[in-house]
Structures are given as structure tokens and as C-alpha cells.
Structure 1
Amino acid sequence: MDEQQERKRGLKNRHVQLIALGGTIGTGLFLGSGKSIHLAGPSIVLAYLLTGIICFLLMRAMGELLLSDLKTHSFIDFIVKYLGEEVGFVTGWTYWICWITIAMADVTASGLYVKYWFPDIPQWLPGFVILLLLLFANLITVAMFGEMEFWFALIKIIAIVFLILVGVVMVVNGWKTPQGHASLLNLVNYGGFFPQKLTGFIKSFQMVTFGFIGIEMIGVTASETENPKVVIPKAINEIPLRIILFYVGSLTALMAIYPWNDISTAQSPFVQVFKNVGISFAAGIINFVVLTAAASACNSSIFSTGRMMFALTCKGKSKFAKKMSQVSNRMVPANAVKFSTFVIALAVLANFVVPNASLFQFISSVATTCFLFIWGAIIVAHLRYKKNKAGKEKTTFTMPWYPVTDYLVLLFLAFVCVVMCLEKTTLLALIAAVIWFVILAVIVKKMKKA
């Protein structure tokens, strides 16, 4: 690898662990869990458990690819190697634009969260300041990014663990609530475990799957991870289990304290629980947690889009590609990070000038839909790798029960696509995502002819 493209391995095990945890545990759990609970009832716990198992298998497949060649920049390199440059181009730019869109949403939302305490402040200002601070942090060293993400994620984890502990205490003591008493029987006493029938349970998978977006980010950190042969397997084996525990644990606690149909959809269920145990300023606490969750997602977006831009241009010969694929004196792909952050900032400012919430939400839905394709490409690349000579060599970290598990993941992703066809909004997002891929495919063909 060229010296100008070599990056420093500054991410420790605790950084990598919390990067993936922080990427998947976000505002959806703290603010939107009430809506997801009302969609499926207590069976939402089973949906998270099953999806978590699928994500664990996805991570194992990706981990085997990453450890097969530690000189690679990201999982995109393996997609290029085993599926071709065209598929790699489409996947890489899709991943980049997806995280740009996610960052737009989170930076915009952070302005609203700050206005909770300072209602007179311009909405664009907090998000813009947060974006600048995160940019400077990402330009210093990769270890600085890892350290910030560690603390961002830790705040969310503390809030979740506290909720679970409160739930345990309330259930054991049969705590009286405005809706009755805290009890595990609340999980089955109000219409059973599947109160919304099989239809509600199936429809919940679309929302649940998108809750795990960001878990693949380990595949972008590989070339900057300290001692990757030890850290990556450890992180992959532990993270999905922890995520399942946090989601399943917190949602079970919520529905044990309150019957699922009495959990608020107008406010965060976390606020509802904390207020019930006498914490009057619960809304302020949750607002702070959600603000750090938004900052965490934006931090991850800047990191991943910068690294993806670096990976996509590192072999390019144009002036733009050469500029983007250089690293700074601090061994950080500074130009790629700056460019990605600049695009995020332009989009955010444009969003404030011409606010259109429905359009913005639709674009975000399209972006998250594209992750189904990205995850699928990782699995297909793994299947091709295993048929390759390199994939037949014995390694210490392999996909369990290959190839059945690979096809199981692909089947699950196809199932989620079918589920998306059941609702008009998600169906339109799915169609728009397909159009996006067609446009990229046309661009690839024109580039090859040029």
C-alpha cells in the first residue's frame, strides 16, 4: 500500500465494541420504541431477537472476509474482489450516500433537541456547531473518534441498564403504576403475546431491521483497528449479543411495567417509566441521552463516509481521487472526511432554508432500504470467497454452519423486502431504492465505455 494511503491502527477493542453498539442503539429505541411496541405488542421482543441472530450471522460472514486480508480498507474491497468492480461501485457509493442522509437527519434533529433547553436559539445553529466539533475531532486522530464514540455510546448504555434495573425492582416488588402493577404477566394479559396477530408481528420486522443499521460499521474500521486478529473476532462475537440484550431487556422492562397498550406513543416510554419512579426531570434526562445518540450517529457518519470515500478513490487516477485518497500527517483521510462533512453541512443548511419534512423522511427511508442491498452484497461476497481457493483454507474465525447460514441471511433480507411491500410508504421507498441502483448501474456502464 502507498505510504500516502496508510492509516494508523489507533482503535482499541473497547473503541470497536462501542462503535458498533453506538451505531445501532439510537433515537429509535429512546423515542420511537412506543410506536414499535404498538405495532406488534410484546411479540416485538421476539422480532428483535430473531433479527439480532440474523445480524450476528451477517457479522460472522463479514468478519471472516475482513480477517482473510488485513490490508483491505473496508468490506467494499471484498465486494469488488469477489463480485466485480461494478457491484463494488454501486455498493460503495450507496453506503456513502446512506450515511450522508443519516447524518443529515441526526444533525437536523440535534437542533430540535437543543431547543428543548434553549427555545429561542436558531434551529440550524446547534446542529452546525455539533457538526464542526465532530469534524475537528475526526481530523485529529482515529483514536479521538474512537474515544468520543466510546463515551457517546456509554451514556446510552447507562440509560438502558438503568431502565432494566428499574424494571426488575418494580416487577419484583409489584410496583403500583397508574395502569395497574408491574408484572411479567403484563406481557401476556392484554391480548396475549401476539395481540396484533401474525400480521402485526410480520410488519414489525421492517422497523426492527432498520434498528440494527450501523452494525456493519466494524467493516469500515478494520484497517485502523489495533491488533485486528484479536479485536475483530471478539467484537463480532460480543456486540450482537449485547445489542440483543439491550433491546430485548429494555423492551421487556417497559412492557412489564406498563401493559403494552398503555405505553405512550406521544412521548418516550423511557420518560413515562422514569417519571413513575419519581424522577420528575425525566424528560430532560432522556432529551440529553437522545442528543448524545444523535451526536453519536453523526460522529459515526462522518467517520464511515470519510473512510468509504477514501476506499472508493484510493485506486483512482483523477485529481479528485488522488486528493480524496491522501492521508494527513496524523494518518487520517482528512480530505475525504472534510468533503463528506461539507456535503452533510450543505444538505442540512438547505433543509433549514427549504424545510420539507415528508420529503426528507422519504429520502431517509430510501437510504435505510438500501442497507438491505449492502448487507446482501456482503453475504454474496462471502459465498464467492468460500468457493475461492483462499476461502477453503482453514482459519480460526469462520462462518458457522456455512453455507446454510449465508442463505438464511439472504432469505431473511428478501423477507424484509416483501414486508416493505405491505405498506405504501415503505413500498415507495423500496421502488425509489431500485431506481437509485438502476441509475448507478447506468453510470457504471457509461464510465466503462468512456
Structure 2
Amino acid sequence: MTSLNDQSGGQLSNGFKPRHVTMLSIAGIIGAGLFVGSGHAIAAAGPAVILAYLAAGTLVVLVMRMLGEMAVANPDTGSFSTYAEKAIGPWAGFTIGWLYWWFWVLVVPIEALAAGHILNQWFPWCDTWIYALASVVLLSITNLFGVDKYGEFEFWFALLKVTAIIGFIGFGAAALLGWLPLHEGPGIVSLMREHGGFAPHGLTAVVGAFITIMFSFIGTESVTIAAAESGEPSRNIAKATRSVIWRIGVFYLLSIMVVISVVPWSDPALASVGSYQRALELLQVPHAKLIVDLVVLVAVTSCMNSSIYIASRMLYSLARRGDAPAAAAKTSGNGVPRRAVLGTAAVGAFIAALNHFAPASLFDFLLSSSGAVALLVYLAIAVSQLRMRRTQGDALTFKMWLFPWATYGVILFILAAIAVLLFTPDHRAEATSTLILALAVSFVGIITCRRRTATAGAAVKAPA
């Protein structure tokens, strides 16, 4: 395993303060998925979407506990990719690292286009894709500063997101309890009675909503990447991991409960304008669209910034282990892997431009290739933790609950979820394309690692 303090190729700084890591762990990766994308999940599954959120939330909590066990013992900017390399094999670290990088590279244009759409509505003299490219360039520049500057930027943006979500939950709860003379709707019980019950589209739709929800949940694990650039990585990782339960409970479960208590899941506006905006409109809040657009703009800007950071650090880690071009491991004087940042941002900007110049089917295909990456990453974390516990179990200070049965349960659940997605028509393309991509990357990883081993063996045998 490559240590963060290994000097070859460059060293990252320890510029994150504890409050930076705390706020990043709370809301650093909340983007359009919660504010807008959740509407698609609710429209697909009805009130039973809460079961999908519970399942996804429970899975994330257990996976974060497993990852926390490994990361507290061995903080590393490569995080689960490094652990997969050590526990499963070099090809596994290669595969998971590149899949994770690819996922976050695709998040960059998604969030950039969401920001561009909002800006185009306000200032229509520029096309959406121009705003999207400009936002990628701007946030690439912020990532080139020291990590302490990035941490400060994200601290305040994450704080704004947290304030907005808590405000939404508080306002919605007050209206539903009759404390505000704004809402005279039927409530969740009447909504269920009038619109097909708890699961109007059956439990199959709940499973389908699960992958949509996982797309918005992934990133929770990235705090272990960020914490490696802090002064006390083990302590910060343990603290962030313990807070996962209440974060998911407050930001996701409570906010979604407010939405499904106000908005009929058959409302066509759920998928078109988003869950938060539609809920505020039905609660008769003036300028609901402007309010939500402002919050979403902050959220997608923050999430895009985090995406560039996370992807660049994973690329840096891959380069340090010989799994990516060596140039990506070079760092600047302030400890920033600038080439990894610029390379990541360039690919994200290129894909954002494809949305305008290339056929829509190509952009959709690229997006579908990352649809089930979260499940594969979580599967790798679970298998890695299962194997690493055997070698260092007695020395651990932060442990997975109910080991090994909870770990086995997570593995079986993920495998079952992937199987169900393969047999669900609406999500078969996402699952299939992700698995094909994973197999292709694994094949490249196996070949690359074998060649590297052969080269190292030849160098050892060569006469001095």
C-alpha cells in the first residue's frame, strides 16, 4: 500500500481543518440528486419510495462502518481502491479506482449542465453548454489552490445546503402540523387513499427507485479520501463515519417524508420541476421556483467542485500505485495534484460539450455506464473489509458491527440488487453497461498488473 507520506512523485498537504472535514462529510456531495432527482424516484415508486431510501440508507451506513474500520487503521487518499488492491489483488484496486474516477468525471457534466440550465433561464443570451463549460473551468481553478482554500470554499457552500434542507424540513413540518396557514392539503394518509395506496406501482418500482437513490447517495464514502489530507485523519474519519446515520435520517428521510406528505406522486410536475419545488408550490410559498433554483445552483456548484476534487485525488492515488500515467502523481508546491485536476476537469468539460454537439444517445450511453458503479464500489469495500479483518482484527480500534454476519449480509444484498436490476427492464441497460465497463476495466487491470509484475521480476533478475 502506498503511504500518503511517500515522497515519490509528490506529496499531498494536510490542509483540511476538522470543521472542513465535518462539513464535507455532512453535505459535501449533496447536489441535484436530492433537490431535483428525488422527484423521479417518488414518481416511480410512490410513498413506498421511503422503503428504497431506508434500504439505501441502511446499506450506506453499514458500508461506511466497514470503510471506516479500514480507513481509521490505514488512512490513504486512495481509500477503498487502495484497500481493494491490498485485500483482493492489484487488479481490483485498478478496477475500482478507475470506475470511481469515471463515475465522478460523469458527475461533473451532469452538475455543470444543471447549473447551465438555471443560468440560461436567468440570462438567456448564452447557451446552456457555454455556462456549463464556464462553470467547469471556474471550479477547476478553485481546485488548483491549496486544499485549505478548497476546504473553506466547500465549508460555506455545504453550510448553505444544510441550512436550506433544515429550513425546508422545518417549514414543511410546521405547515403539515397546521402551525402555518399555508397548507390545506389532504396529508399523506389521504394521498395514499386517493392515489393508489402505499405502493401504487408495486414493489418492483421500489427496486427500480433504489438505483436512482443510490446515485444521489454515492459520495458519502469520499470523506475518507478528504480526511487523508487533514491533520488527524483517523480521528476525523471515525467522527464522520459515526455521523452517517443522522445525516441520512435528517437530510434524506425527513425531507422525503415532507415531500410525499404534500405532493401526490402522480403529479407530473414531480419529474419535471423536482420534488422540493413542487412541494413549496403546493405549500403556497411565493417565488418557490426562484428559491429552489438558487439552492440548486449552490448545491450543483458545490457538488461539481467536490466531484473534481474526489476524481483528481483518486487519479493521483492510481498514478502513485502505477495504475495511471505518472504525471498525475506530480504535485505543486502547495500539495495539489494539478495535472490530475486539469485532466479530470478536461474530460468532464469534454463530456459536457458532447451533450450539445453529439447525439443525445451518446451522452445517455455514457451516463448509463456509471449507473450501478455505487453498488460495485460498495461490494469491493465489503469484500475488502472481510479479508482485511482476518489480518489486523486484534489491532483495530474502530470495528464493523456484528462481524462477519453483517458484512456477509451486505455482500448478499448487493449481489441480489444487481441481479434484480439486470431483470428489471427500466434499469437493465444501466446495470448491463456498468458491468460490461467493469469487466473491460478489470481485463485491462489484469494485463497491466501482470506486465508490471513481470517487469519488476525481470529487473530483480538482471545482473548489476
Q: Do both share a fold (TM > 0.5)? A: yes
Q: Establish whether residue 378 from structure 1 lines up as the match of residue 378 from structure 2.
A: no
Residue matched to 1:62: 67
Q: Distance in 2 between matches of 1:306 and 1:24?
A: 15
8 A Cα contact 2:69 2:400, kept in partner: yes
C-alpha change, 1:310 and 1:169, in structure 2 (3 Å) is: same
Q: Establish whether residue 154 from structure 1 lines up as the match of residue 128 from structure 2.
A: no
Residue matched to 2:328: 324
Written as runs of structure 1 = structure 2, the 5 A alignment for 1:333-412 is: 333-354=337-358, 356-388=359-391, 390=392, 392-412=393-413
Written as runs of structure 1 = structure 2, the 5 A alignment for 1:11-90 is: 11-70=16-75, 73-90=78-95
C-alpha change, 1:445 and 1:242, in structure 2 (3 Å) is: closer
Q: CA deviation at 1:399?
A: 0.4
8 A Cα contact 2:81 2:92, kept in partner: no
Q: CA deviation at 1:335?
A: 1.8
Q: CA deviation at 1:232?
A: 0.9
Q: CA deviation at 1:38?
A: 2.3
Q: Distance in 2 between matches of 1:89 and 1:102?
A: 20
Identity %: 31
Q: Establish whether residue 210 from structure 1 lines up as the match of residue 215 from structure 2.
A: yes
Q: Establish whether residue 268 from structure 1 lines up as the match of residue 271 from structure 2.
A: no
1:379-432 CA distance string (max 9 Å, x none):
1111110112x2x22432110111111112112212321231243342122222
1:234-291 CA distance string (max 9 Å, x none):
1111134212321111111122234443473232232233334443321112112222
Q: Distance in 2 between matches of 1:361 and 1:274?
A: 30
Q: CA deviation at 1:72?
A: 5.8
Residue matched to 1:221: 226
C-alpha change, 1:445 and 1:232, in structure 2 (3 Å) is: closer
Written as runs of structure 1 = structure 2, the 5 A alignment for 1:216-255 is: 216-255=221-260
C-alpha change, 1:349 and 1:268, in structure 2 (3 Å) is: closer
Q: Distance in 1 between matches of 2:182 and 2:421?
A: 37
8 A Cα contact 1:37 1:260, kept in partner: yes
Aligned partner (choices 296, 306, 310) of residue 304 of structure 1: 310
Contiguous gaps of at least 5 residues in structure 2: 1-5, 455-464
* Matched residue SS, 2:138: helix
Q: Distance in 2 between matches of 1:302 and 1:173?
A: 43
Residue matched to 1:444: 445
Residue matched to 1:414: 415
Q: Distance in 1 between matches of 2:424 and 2:182?
A: 35
Q: Tell me which amino acid in the other structure corresponds to 2:125.
A: D
Q: Distance in 2 between matches of 1:71 and 1:170?
A: 46
* Matched residue SS, 1:53: helix
Q: CA deviation at 1:23?
A: 4.8
8 A Cα contact 1:47 1:204, kept in partner: yes
C-alpha change, 1:122 and 1:181, in structure 2 (3 Å) is: closer
